[in-house]
Amino acid sequence: MKKEKSKSSAGVGQKILRSGVVSWIIIIAVWWLGSLAYDEYFLPSPTETASSMGTLIQNGVLGADILASFGRILKGWLLAAAVGIPLGLLVGNFKPVRWLVEPVLSFFRFVPAIALTTLFLMWFGVGEESKVALIFYASFFPIFVNTIAGVASVDKSLVEAASSMGAKKLHVFFTVVVPSAVSNIFTGVRLGLSSSITCVVAAEMLVGSDGLGYLINSSKLYYKTGWAFAGIVTLAVIGFAADRLLLVIGKHKLKHFGVK
């Protein structure tokens, strides 16, 4: 009896630790202690951040900024998936094309989207287009590269099995190669989402008049450090939630495609 009890309580302890609740309590405590030492303009406390957030929600600013940012993210990211996945499937499937593309790819991967902001502003103007284009650029690469990798790593014996059952190349491509690449594509799409979020903030901080990046950036004009914190927390929460949501859907719907 005793043994069992100690064992199960250890199990519960582990569970709590792993759930991250403890980590968050520690971080918030440190944040709070730190905020005691400085004034509100330098480091707002968790409660002050919460109240800023409350104000921003009430006056509708936060909601509007979330919509603005995530509208852009969704546009750029979906566009990147719509272009990156088919293109990646094609490039991955044809070795010569892959050899042609891969060296260039590994070069461009080191050019962060932010470095292109100025150019994109020049090319696409200061409106929505340049931001969406930046997000597209940022999320395109992870999606494209992972799709190529997915196609390239398809189990050769599956392809051979399909052709020995009489399937033609195109049929094999759609029924074997593409499904085999799903798990990699999914990883790419997730990575794409997180780089879109990074990128949208940078873009909105540089130009524009709405969005979470603008909110964070403009808070300094009004000495509202609390707003910046509210924006940062919102970004983190929404980003995390979106990724989790994607993962849950993926695990549920794409389990047999190897999504873990």
Partner 1 sequence: MYIELKNINKTFGDFKASDDVSFGIEKGKLIGLLGPSGSGKTTILRILAGLEKQDSGDIFIDGKNVNNLPANERGIGFVFQNYALFPFKTVYDNIAYGLKVQKKDKAFIKNRVSELLDLVGLPGLEKRYPDQLSGGQRQRIALARALAPEPELLLLDEPFAAIDAKVRKELRSWLRETIDKVGITSIFVTHDQDEAVEVADEIIITNKGRVEQAGNPVEIYLEPKTPFVAQFIGQSAIIENYGTLKGFTQTDSSNTAVIRPEFIEINKFEDNGVHQYESSMEDGIVDEVLFRGNAFEVKVKLNELYLTGKYDLSAPRLRRGDKVKILIKKLYTISGNQTDILLNKGLDTSDVYYI
Question: Element (H or E) spanning 205, and its range?
Answer: helix 178-206
Residues between 152 and 171 that touch partner 1 (CB under 8 A): 155, 157-158, 160-168, 171
Interface size with partner 1, residues (CB under 8 A): 21
Neighbours of 130 (CB within 10 A): 23
- Cα–Cα distance, 26 to 145 (Å, whole number): 38
Which of 87-95, 119-127, 187-195, 250-258 is the region at the interface with partner 1 (rule: CB under 8 A)? 250-258
Q: How far apart are CA 154 and CA 165, in angstroms?
A: 18
**Nearer residue to partner 1 within complex by CB, 96 or 166:** 166
How far is it, in rounded angstroms, from Cα 35 to Cα 55?
20
CB closer to partner 1 out of 157 and 209: 157
- Reference 56, options 203, 205, 208, 218; nearest CA is 218
Least CB distance from residue 157 to partner 1, whole Å?
4
Judged by CB, which is closer to partner 1: 162, or 242?
162
**What is the spatial distance between Cα 70 and Cα 237, in angstroms, rounded to a whole number?**
13
Q: Which two tokens stand for residue 45?
A: 């406390």
Binds partner 1 (CB under 8 A): choice among 182, 207, 238, 247: 182
Q: Which stretch binds partner 1 (CB under 8 A): 40-48, 97-105, 178-186, 188-196?
A: 178-186
Query: Which residues between 184 and 223 bind partner 1 (CB under 8 A)?
Result: none
Task: List interacting residues with partner 1 (CB under 8 A).
Answer: 155, 157-158, 160-168, 171, 175-176, 179-180, 182, 256-258
